[in-house]
Amino acid sequence: MELVIEEKAEQASRQPKNAEAHTISCANGAMPWYKVTLSADEISAGRDRALINAFSQRLSFSGTPPDAALCKELGTAAVYYFSPSAANLMAPFIVLHAGVECAAPKRSDVTISGGPQDTREVLFAPETRR
């Protein structure tokens, strides 16, 4: 699927002056999940904390959509997943860090780093029964 980065003038007028007005979408209109893997140097430089802070600010500014979640893969320090709504909020960061479209993670494989702790409206991958 081809990524489309769109300038949104109406969003730009509502965003803080230093926020970039980009959205991410797929050519077919479906909104996928995205994954960003930060390097060890980026983690050492505090980029993970900056990501969480930036997400919290954009989430608050956007009215806290209930399906916008930033998730961290369990057992890693550097792999972050963005739900479709979160990806839309964080498009500049995702593009800057070469984020890739991916399948939704299972809820049991991630921890919520930003967004609602009640994740009923976030569309995670189904859990497999054993």
Q: Are strands 79-82 and 70-73 parallel, antiparallel or unpaired?
A: antiparallel
Instruction: For the chain, give the longest Cα–Cα distance.
Output: 50
Find the mean pLDDT for residues 67-71: 92
> HSE (CB half, 13 Å, CA atoms) of 124?
19
How far apart (Å, rounded) are the C-alpha atoms in residues 69 and 64? 10
Question: Is 101 among the domain residues?
Answer: yes
Q: Are strands 33-37 and 22-26 parallel, antiparallel or unpaired?
A: unpaired
Helix (H, G, I), strand (E, B) or coil at 127: coil
For the chain, the C-alpha Rg in angstroms (whole number) is 14
- Structural domain total, the chain: 1
- pTM, rounded to two decimals: 0.75
Tens-place pLDDT, residues 12-59: 333 334 434 454 555 555 689 999 999 999 999 999 999 999 999 999
DSSP code at position 112: E
Question: Is 26 among the domain residues?
Answer: yes
Nearest Cα neighbor of 33 from 65, 77, 1 is 1
Tens-place pLDDT, residues 86-120: 999 999 989 988 899 999 999 999 999 998 878 77
Nearest Cα neighbor of 88 from 6, 10, 2, 1 is 6
| Domain carrying residue 88 | 3-114
Question: Is 110 among the domain residues?
Answer: yes
